[in-house]
Structure 1
């Protein structure tokens, strides 16, 4: 069981420390069918062992528990960062996935 690791500059940037990242504008523009990715949730890189694709659907392991990725949470544009990313949101009804961007499994 591997925890999610945050990737600097690839999530919300409340204090502006990643303002000069060449991917900042691209991350800020990412959207899924659920809305903007970086507006409400921090994105995290996902290790290859913590996500899978089967039958055209994705699953991701977050904090040791597997979650089905809703189809409308999948980002379909090319992944410029290369790494698999997930934007989970924790609320009163538990964890939901705002955005998921598959990477290339190596």
Structure 2
């Protein structure tokens, strides 16, 4: 989920971020590079990726269960903010379209 968000943000950033430098960077660095394209909570807490990675590769099942509620809440907040931004953009697009239509009809 987290890597998908990072690569989706990279797509939105397009050429604003150097592709070669981006691909060579570690995930935490990629998150910092994408400031302004990712939710602030993720940029401010880029350590979440390290926690997830360590959970996959090193932590015991018991340790993962202990940390899961916090990590899950963080992911939910990130996804919620992303969805809020998507809805806001859709609302702005609809409003612009409606205003354009009115403008065209009253000329």
TM-score (norm: length of structure 1): 0.26
| Bigger proportion of residues as strand | 1
Higher relative contact order (CA 8 A, sep 6+): 1
| Bigger proportion of residues as helix | 2
Q: Decide which structure has the larger Cα Rg and report it.
A: 2
